[in-house]
Amino acid sequence: MLVDFNTLPETSKVWIYQANRSFSDQELEEIKSKVEVFLENWTAHGADLSAGYQIKYKRFIIFGLNQDINNASGCSVDASVRFIQQLEKEYNVDLLDKMNVSYKQGEFVAYKTLTEFRKMAKDKAVSKNTIVFNNLVTNIAEYNENWEVPASDSWHNRFLK
């Protein structure tokens, strides 16, 4: 069951899928339509899941699930991963690789491998004040407070000396 992401409780589970490139406006329209169809029909053991989504910066797909109504089962999580893998193939984009880092350069969102980001930190090309995206947040409260933060407030801090 598709709901407005902004109406989900703060305890709702989130999954963040980070693209290795920005989506075009046409791709975004197509992806929004596909995500809405998927979430409208997403179930766990036949029970509707109350879920919403956001797409941020033309590159992050965020799913939110109200676990107060129904929890995702292993099969429903697998279904969401298969859906994301389908988007990867269709749009020739990487959405599941967790070994990459996105960060802000002004209003632009940059994307680097973890190795490249480490090197940039060592070379002082990024700092503790660089805004990074902490895709390890697990619920909407953390997403709202700790997703888009200075590197000093995220796991990225370990690379900055």
Q: Please tell me the predicted confidence (pLDDT) of residue 72.
A: 87
Cα distances (angstroms) measured from residue 147 to each of 33, 49, 72, 153 = 25, 24, 22, 10
Q: Is 7 exposed, middle or buried (0-12, 13-18, 19+ CB in 10 A)?
A: exposed
Mean predicted confidence (pLDDT) in 10-27: 97
Closest CA to 35 of 59, 56, 51, 11: 51
Mean predicted confidence (pLDDT) in 43-66: 94
Alpha helix (H) ranges present in 22-109?
25-41, 74-91
Residues 119, 35: Cα–Cα separation, whole Å = 36
User: Per the structure block, which two tokens stand in for 2?
Assistant: 């598709």
Q: Please tell me the predicted confidence (pLDDT) of residue 46.
A: 86
| pLDDT class of 45 with cuts at 50, 70, 90 | confident
Asked if pLDDT for residue 140 goes beyond 90, the answer is: yes
pTM to 2 decimals?
A: 0.94
Q: Please tell me the predicted confidence (pLDDT) of residue 47.
A: 86
User: Per the structure block, which two tokens stand in for 20?
Assistant: 């290795």
Mean predicted confidence (pLDDT) in 47-71: 94
Mean predicted confidence (pLDDT) in 93-106: 91
Tens digit of pLDDT for each residue in 110-121?
999 999 999 999
- Beta 43-44 vs 47-48: how paired, if at all? antiparallel
What average pLDDT does the chain have?
94
What φ, ψ does residue 30 adopt, rounded to 5°? -65, -45
Domain edges within the chain: 5-91, 100-159
Q: Please tell me the predicted confidence (pLDDT) of residue 142.
A: 97
